[in-house]
Structure formats: structure tokens, C-alpha cells
Structure 1
């Protein structure tokens, strides 16, 4: 049973989302709608949702303010927003989900499916993800964001600068760090490419995403050597781009 609380100050938006969930999400579910964050604060302790579908832009108190004021949660969150580039980046860095309005049905289905997977996380871990989001939003710029990595062992938080490289393996990504043991995350390399490109990372091969700050050389065989002695294969079509980046270091 999924208990879903939709929080959106626009009645039509909340009703449409309710209908989409009823029609396109299988399994048992109970859905309620709140038209304000203030009302949501009162109903959450009573309804005890497993999933909060939370609009970001609302008058008086936005979605992030609501989470900050609740302070203690044992539910998952999927944000809904028309478009806020900075907020979306903070959400993705925090391993949380968002849906762009108007909501696309496959995106909704994928987000709900990821919620079902995340239900295996302990409530404390869910809270840490939201805490990280709130902390990221308080930073002056995205360069200070902490990246949340959710694994079978729990949730871990890292500065992007601590990551040497990432290797893709189908729907999994292997992370290698400067001073930490490797981690495996159940998300595609493409997901992290979109998140980390602005932080000095480059997709040098279909299977490799590299922090270019740690690259020492590209050899004649097309291997990119990093400061820890490891290497990554560079695809032929990306060698020119890699050389261009290295020439500017």
C-alpha cells in the first residue's frame, strides 16, 4: 500500500496528478490532496504518508520551507515544479526525484517505481537525503553541493572534488574516490554525467566519466592516466575533446 499526499496550491494541478496516479500506477494506494503547506503540516502526522508529492513554488511557504519546518519525517518525497534550474540541480544532487509540469506519464511511472525501491531505506536515511537537499539549497552556488549516493549499505555524501572517476555497468555506476573505498550505486552513468559535467567531469567513453582535475596524461594507446595510477579508456571520437581540455589545464 502506497499512501500518497499531494501538496499543491493549484487545485487543478493536484486533481490532474491524482487522476494520473489512479489511472497509470498499479497496486494499492490511498491518495489525499492538500492545497497549502500549512494544511499539509496538520495532516501529515494523521495520514502518515509514505510518499509526499510536493509542489516547490507555493505562496507564503514553498515546498522546501515545509520540509524544513516539519523537521522529522519518515516519508519519501517527489517534487513537482514548472522549472527551477537551481532547485532541480540541488534535488538531483540529493538523490531525490522531481517531476516537471506538465507531468509526463512515463516520468511519473518511473518516479513512483523508484519510490518503491527507496522504501527499503530506513526512515533515518530518507531524512538524511532531505537534510542534504536543504543544506545544498542554502549554499551560495552549486559548486558547494554535496552529492548523495544511495547504496545497499546506506546513504553517503561526498564533495564532487573527492571523486576520481565513475564507471558505468548497465544500470549501475561504480564510484572511485581519492580517500574512500569504492561504491556501487543503482543509477546509470548518464544520470551522473548530467549532474557532474559542471564540476569538471567529462564523459570520455560510454563506460567512463572522469574528473579531469586528476588527469595526468593521455597516452598513445588512448588511455587516460589519473593521479592515483588508474586509467580510463578514451573513445576515438572523444580524444580531440579530451586533448582540448588537457591543453587548457
Structure 2
């Protein structure tokens, strides 16, 4: 089971964010707040590029309300938890795959119950991934990829890049493209970190297939196979350090 749970907090009231941070620190120290936003549009931009395990989200906010933010994201793998002063949105929340609904002021015991359920669910998901990772590790330089009703044995070195497609991943191997029923996060954990680099929320690339890095337009990579891959501004510092460019 992972040691920490990544969290993002979104609320147009800074005081509400502060209260939730205090409660999490006191009652659920395993929840690590990676980012906070009082502007829901800025939160949307962040969530499109970065991963989180849980999103604590207010509902009524200027610009984009909580429902609109989730709608614009489309698909997501994190667990959304609404934190609102109003309890009348419960039925609507069900349609948005909301993990839980906390009413302000937050009851510490209710928060604890929510975190316990969250930890259990994440642990179950991680258990599935660990079983698959153990299986893949036996293959050494090959990865077993489920494609429809068949399995393909693929040389890891042949993978040019992986691209997220909702809850699927497209694997690019030269002229071949596999649409695999696994998330990009799964492949990030399975493939060797020494050879694969997460440059963006949607992209994982083989460092041996990079032709050059271009600084303009926010930064992007050109690949030896052709095409370009963007570099997320939230990942830029870490990625460039890994490549010895910063």
C-alpha cells in the first residue's frame, strides 16, 4: 500500500481550504496536499496535466462550479469528494461518480470515515496493479500486453511512447499502435523508470527515442520516429533535471 495519498483542494474561499488542510494534517497525515486552488479554471488546467489520488472540491464557485469542472475534465482516475455548505446536491453528485460528499463545517469523524474508505479503495486498486507488475517483471525485457482476447509479447525497448486515452493507453511501436485496456499510470509503474519519462499527464516517452528538446512554445520533445510530445509546465523542472538539462 502506498505510504501517502496525493490530494488537491479546490474552493473559492481560502479560509475553507485552510480549515481542511488543518483537519487533514491532524486527522489524516497520510494525505499529502499537492496543490490548492481558489480559482476553479486554474484547477482545471492543473488537473488536465497532473495526477492526483483525491480531489476535494467545492460546488458553488465563480467561473466554473464543481460539476462544470468535472464535466470539462471528461474522464478522470482520481476520487472526487465534494465539500459544500449545502447538502441538496447529493442526488446530482451520484451522476458524477463522486466518491463522497462532506458538508461544511466538516465533522472530523465523517472526514476520518471518508479517508478510511478512500485508503481501502486505493489499496484494492493498488493490489491489482502490484499483481500485474509482479507478473510483468518475470518477462524481463518483454511486457505482456492484453489486446482484446489475445496477449502480445512486446520488447520494452521497442515502445516509442505511451499515450493516455481515457482509461485506455495507446502504445506506439514504430508503425504499430496498440489500444490497451490499462491506464497510463499502470504503464508508468511497470516500465523501467530509467528508460521511460512522464512528460505530461497524457504522455510517457522512451528517453532513447528522443531526438531533441525544443524550448519554444512552452517546451516539447521531437521523437526519432517523428512527431512531437509536449512538456507539462508542472513537470518541467523534474523532467529537465532527469535529462541533465537543468
Smaller-chain TM-score bracket: 0.3 to 0.5
* Structure with greater helix share of residues: 1
TM-score normalised according to structure 2 size: 0.46
TM-score normalised according to structure 1 size: 0.45
